[in-house]
Amino acid sequence: MEKYYLAVDIGASSGRHILGTVQDGKIVLEEIYRFENSMKQEDGHLSWDVESLFAEIKEGLKQCKKLDKIPVSMGIDTWAVDFVLLDENNKILGRAAGYRDGRTSGMDEKVYEIISQNDLYKRTGIQKQIFNTIYQLMAVKEKEPELLKRAESFLMIPDYFNFLLTGEKKQEYTNATTTQLVSPVTENWDYELIRMLSYPEKLFGPLSMPGTNAGQFTEEIIKEVGFSCTVVLPATHDTGSAVMAVPKVPDKEGEEDDILYISSGTWSLMGTELLAADCSKESMEANFTNEGGYDYRYRYLKNIMGLWMIQSVKKELAGRGEHYSFAELCDLASKETIPSLVDCNDSSFLAPESMIKAVVNFCRNKKQPVPKSAGEIAAVIYNSLAVCYKETAEELESITGKTYSDLHVVGGGSNAAYLNKLTAKQTGKTVYAGPGEATAIGNLLAQMIASGEFKDLKSARESVYRSFAVKEYKPL
């Protein structure tokens, strides 16, 4: 009888339920349910419809029952930084605000009135991004202080869904580190920092590692979905799960400790793994982050705007009646010779009303040729991403003192063959592309390791390489 594990992987634009089994040492996946997700406008703010998302989680569980494929465990991962505050009756206070909401504007300066940016990085090692939880909480404190006063619980989005399933409130470590409120020294909440910022200390409880048993379905959930199940914490931050699934390439010495990767999706998260956080001034100035990973490894990486830009352009073109697949946009881009480049991390690309206009205006302001066609717009974006990857790799090698011959691209962006070719050319590194479902696979790996299917992360990564198609792109 097959032993099933269920990964519920929810991204900023969609979610899916993927069943995993281990057969002859290989991981076999089956997607059984998929649903849409996006931020909603609510009273002038961007927020997540968590009620709808939880209903979709349950629908996917019901699909397991219909297929008679009942998982022995399940895990949920989502994007980072966003959270809910719950009152004494476990009801959400305010809204489940989205990270692209403008409420954090100016909140960095409010934080720096209490602790300088330099000192904050020394304490946490986390890259400054205006949507980090530390600034979101400051926005609540400044603009809706009554909510913070009434709050009895603080849960990151996947922690909240786990609570709805089990009735247990657990705060998972990898996602907690993205709040910029966790110490890489103690690997726990930085309570002194929390007190300095006047955030209620009671909101920050014990942290739980990936692999932790988060509880069983409540009777109410069992009645609704038709079965019982153990909820196991994966790395609930989707990038943490994706990095777990970076494959171990055979005959690559040092591969386990010296990997260079891009978790490529809406965001491009590019970095390596460290056994200790680098909170140096050089690291801060290069804008690298030290996010917590599986087994207390550190995901030393930089957030790059990523495929959000091309996703936005594709959607905008469709609104004009120009319908292209991502493969078609790649093909169009490959035929263009426009030399213009944009800074993919420029704030103008975070949430523009028109991504096309944002790209055009950036090129015009920099006195570069202005892209006109869909192919030229796509070419500018893809070429700019590849150059950004090259520069980031050079920074990483300078800071770590290591040279990386290979670059792993995992996640949805691993399917963008044109971008992979550009990346190999720009970086001068062999690009290993795949698996595409890295986040769901990493989610499953945490469950499988906890269950004894694999003895450790190394053996799990070896199985990933054996199990999935990994394409190789040599630098030209």
CB 128, CB 287: distance < 8 Å = yes
Q: Which of 238, 251, 343, 346 is catalytic?
A: 238
Pairwise CA distance, residues 392 & 386, whole Å: 10
Which strand (E) or helix (H) includes residue 54? helix 50-67
Spatial CB neighbours of 388, under 8 Å, sequence gap ≥ 6? 268, 304, 343, 344, 345
The reply to whether 238 belongs to the active site is yes
How far is the C-alpha of 357 from the C-alpha of 122, rounded, in Å? 38
For residue 458, the one-letter residue type is: K
Angle at 91 between CA 90 and CA 96, to 5 degrees: 120
CB contact at 8 A, 4 and 21: yes
Cα 161 to Cα 156, 158, 382, 431: the distances in Å are 9, 5, 35, 36
The two structure tokens encoding residue 383: 């070429």
DSSP conformation class of 80: S
Which residue, among 96, 179, 184, 169, has the nearest Cα to 138 in the 3D structure? 179
Angle at 153 between CA 149 and CA 155, to 5 degrees: 125
Q: Does the N-terminal peptide bond of residue 435 adopt cis geometry, omega within 30 degrees of 0? A: yes
Task: List active site positions.
Answer: 238
